[in-house]
A = this chain, B = another copy of it.
Amino acid sequence: MRAAIFKEAGKIEIGERPDPAVVDPTDAVVRVVMACVCGSDLWYYRGDTDFPADSPIGHEFIGIVEQVGDDVTTVSVGDFVVSPFAYSDGTCPDCRAGMTTACARGGFIPDNGDGGQGELVRVPLADGTLVTVPGSPADYSDDVLASLLALSDVMGTGHHAAVSAEVDAGDTVAVVGDGAVGLCAIIAAKRLGAERIIAMSRHPSRQQLALEFGATDIVDSRGDKAVEEVEKLTDGVGVDAALECVGTNEAMQTALKISRAGAIVGNVGLPHGVEIPAQGIFLRNVGVHGGPAPVRAYLPELIADVLANRINPGKVFDYTTDLDGIAEAYAAMDQRRAIKSLIKVRDRT
C-alpha cells in the first residue's frame, strides 16, 4: 500500500509499505477514505520532537472496514467508521468511565505500525475503538465527510477542553489558540451552551472562522495585553472557563490569568515547558484539568451532531490534496498557510 513516510524532519514522502493485515483477533483493517495532518505531526516535522526515520506517520482517518479479526463483534467488513487517534478496549474501568485514553491495553496511533496517512490501517482493539457511521461514504457530501474526519481528533479534543473546563449554559468562555483544536473548542463551547465566547486570535482568516463557529468577541493581542482586554470584556471578573488549546507556557499563563476565581482551565495542548504556579492558582481558586482527549467516548454524540448538521467542524480544513500531495499538506500547515490539511486518500464512492 501507499502511505506517508516520515523520512526526517522537514521531509515527508509517499512510500510503499506492506499491506496491513489482522494480527490479533481483536484487530480490524480499515481502508482509508480521508486522512489529515495534525498540529502534533508538526512537532516531528519541525524536529521539535524525535520521530523514527522511514516510519509511517499520522493518526486521523475515516474509512471502510476491510478485514476484521475473529473476536471483533461490533464492526463488520464494509462498515463506514471513524477512528479516534487512540485505540482502547472499551471494557476496562477507565474506558467505562469515559477516559479511553487511559486504557491500559490501549495506545496511540501510529504505534499501530501503520500510521494513519495511508491507504490501509490496522486498528487494534477494533470493538472498543471504531465507531460506525450509518451507510457508506458515498452517501455523504465531502463537507460531511470532512466534519466526520475532524471528529477523529481535533473536534473531540476541542470538546475535551470544554468538558474539562466544565463549560456550562450561559458561561463566558475564552479560547486560547486559533489552531484547528482551538477553533473546534469554540464549536464545543457553543454546543455546551456558552453565551459569550472570546476567541484569542491574531489571524484574520481564523478570526473569521472563529466568528462563524460561534465566537462573540475576538481578542487579537497576546500576553499581558490580551489579559487586560479579556478583563475589560468581563468587567474585571474573568471568564467562567478558559480553554487552553496550544500547550505553550505563554498560552497557559494567559489562560490562568484570564480565569475568574473558581474557574478551571481546560487544557488540551500537550504542555511544552509549561509551569503551573501552585500557590498562585490556589490563592485565586483557579484549577487546571485536561489531557489527551478521550475522543472515542465523545464520538457517538459528536457523530450524531455532524449528521444532523448541528456542527460543521470540517470547516477547519482549508487545504485539500491527495496522498501524492502529502509533502505540501505538511508544508502548508508548517508555514501557517493552512489551518489544517485534508488528504483524500481514495474516491468516496
Query: Which residues from 260 to 285 on chain A have a C-beta closer than 8 Å to any C-beta of chain B?
Result: 260-262, 264, 267, 270-271, 274-276, 278-279, 281-285
Which residues of B are found within 8 Å of A235, using beta-carbon distances? 93
A97 touches B252 (CB 8 A): no
The residue from B97, B271, B283 contacting A292, defined by CB atoms under 8 A apart: B283
Task: Write the A207-249 contact mask toward B (1 if CB under 8 angstroms, else 0).
Answer: 0000000000000000000000000000101000000000000
- Interface assignment of A287: CB less than 8 Å from any CB of chain B: yes
Q: Which of A93, A102, A289 has the most CB of B within 10 A?
A: A289
B271 touches A94 (CB 8 A): no
Copies in the assembly, this chain: 2
- Interface assignment of A299: CB less than 8 Å from any CB of chain B: no
B276 touches A102 (CB 8 A): no
A237 touches B94 (CB 8 A): yes
The residue from B101, B274, B282 contacting A278, defined by CB atoms under 8 A apart: B274
A276 to B262, CA, bound (A): 18
A271 to B285, CA, bound (A): 12
Which residues of B are found within 8 Å of A262, using beta-carbon distances? 94, 97-99, 102, 294
The residue from B97, B98, B164, B260 contacting A97, defined by CB atoms under 8 A apart: B260
- Interface assignment of A118: CB less than 8 Å from any CB of chain B: no
- Whole-angstrom distance between the Cβ of A241 and the nearest chain B Cβ: 12
- Interface assignment of A137: CB less than 8 Å from any CB of chain B: no
A270 touches B279 (CB 8 A): yes
- Interface assignment of A286: CB less than 8 Å from any CB of chain B: yes
A271 touches B260 (CB 8 A): no
A97 to B285, CA, bound (A): 12
A289 touches B261 (CB 8 A): no
A285 touches B102 (CB 8 A): yes
- Interface assignment of A291: CB less than 8 Å from any CB of chain B: yes
Binding site for B on A (CB under 8 A): 93-94, 97-99, 101-102, 164, 235, 237, 252, 260-262, 264, 267, 270-271, 274-276, 278-279, 281-292, 294
In the complex, the 10 A-B pairs of residues with the closest C-beta atoms, listed nearest first: A287-B289, A102-B261, A285-B291, A274-B278, A99-B262, A271-B278, A99-B261, A276-B276, A271-B279, A93-B237
Q: What are 19 pairs between A and B in contact, CB < 8 Å?
A: A97-B261, A99-B262, A102-B262, A102-B284, A102-B285, A164-B287, A270-B279, A271-B278, A271-B282, A274-B278, A274-B279, A276-B276, A276-B288, A283-B291, A284-B291, A287-B289, A288-B288, A288-B289, A289-B289
